[in-house]
Amino acid sequence: MTFKDKLQAYIQLTRFDKPVGIELLLWPTLWGVLLAAMGQAQQQGITAALPSIKVFAIFALGAIFMRAAGCAINDFADRKVDGHVTRTKGRPLADGRLSGKEAVAAFLVLVLLSASLLFFLPIAVFYWSLGAVVLAFIYPFMKRYTHLPQVFLAAAFGWAIPMSYVAVQGAPDIWCWLLFLAYMCWTVAYDTQYAMADREDDLKIGVKSTAILFGRYDVIIISILQMLFLLTMGVVMWHYFAPTTLGVTPVFGVALVAMMFAKQNSACASRNPLACFQAFLANIWVGRYVFALIAVTCIWTTLNG
């Protein structure tokens, strides 16, 4: 195999050729950084403030590295089953372009790259990051033992939120955990859509998922999780922005996401694998929109507080 082929295999292993997952982790991480800065400002008696560019950049890079690390260890965990699934049989471990040892090495390198960023943050963030590493390592294996691997994925991806509060405020607070809960609900919902696309293959090979657990109630439960996300995010936005000049306007901004969810659930109602996968992909726009809403609101309130 040529160097170019090997490089391409590593890019596919870490999904840098498919940035969907990067965005699904990146945007909520930045929600946390922005809202933590708002909370710190309000604790100091200031209406609003923006995070430092350093903290913003560190968490953005950390999200990218850890998502890639998660993909590498996921493919290692699934190396013996990916070849039996239509959508994943072309992955580099499934088709033999990379070995299990190379995947684990990639995971370790990416984790170390992410860990190197911690030198620029308070030591407390390092201790909290250990939870992220453990969750990132174990969640790919959970589909063999529980029908709730999506919950472990959500916790692994969402752990950057309490870490961002530790970096900015010194410790997570109740609003941090509400934001984390909202993210958990959204992630379990969209990853169930993803699992619906693979449900038939997963049943054949014995892999567990929430899509299998929920059965014919899948779309209903996804809708409930999305509603919980909207309600919890609305409460979080009300807490941070109701005291500002914008009042409850950002809360109504969150409500617009309901239309995105309605379109996704309409597609998933068919249970068609491609339609479910497209619904999953549409969540990129949810992440982008909520980030834009929070960022614009934070900037506005900081400049006009």
| Residue ranges per structural domain of the chain | 3-304
Fold entry, domain 3-304: Tetracycline Repressor; domain 2 (1.10.357)
Mean pLDDT (the chain, rounded): 90
Across the range 289-299, mean pLDDT stands at 95
Q: Residue 193 above 80 pLDDT?
A: yes
In whole angstroms, what is the distance from residue 83 CA to residue 201 CA? 11
Q: How far is CA 13 from the centre of its chain?
A: 18
Task: Indicate the pLDDT class of residue 84, thresholds 50, 70 and 90.
Answer: low
For residue range 46-55, what is the model confidence (pLDDT) as tens digits?
866 888 999 9
Residue 304: Cβ within 10 Å count: 11
Q: Residue 101 above 80 pLDDT?
A: yes
Q: Residue 305 above 70 pLDDT?
A: no
Task: Indicate the pLDDT class of residue 244, thresholds 50, 70 and 90.
Answer: confident
Percentage, residues of the chain above pLDDT 70: 97
And the tokens for 213?
Answer: 């657990």
For residue range 15-50, what is the model confidence (pLDDT) as tens digits?
988 888 899 999 999 999 999 999 998 888 786 688
In whole angstroms, what is the distance from residue 34 CA to residue 49 CA? 9
Q: Residue 110 above 90 pLDDT?
A: yes
And the tokens for 133?
Answer: 């590493």
* Model pLDDT, residue 185: 97
Residue pair 244/305 in contact (Cβ under 8 Å)? The answer is yes
Residue pair 243/189 in contact (Cβ under 8 Å)? The answer is no
* Model pLDDT, residue 240: 93
Task: Indicate the pLDDT class of residue 186, thresholds 50, 70 and 90.
Answer: very high
Q: Residue 103 above 80 pLDDT?
A: yes
For residue range 115-165, what is the model confidence (pLDDT) as tens digits?
899 999 999 999 998 888 888 888 878 887 888 889 988 998 899 999 999
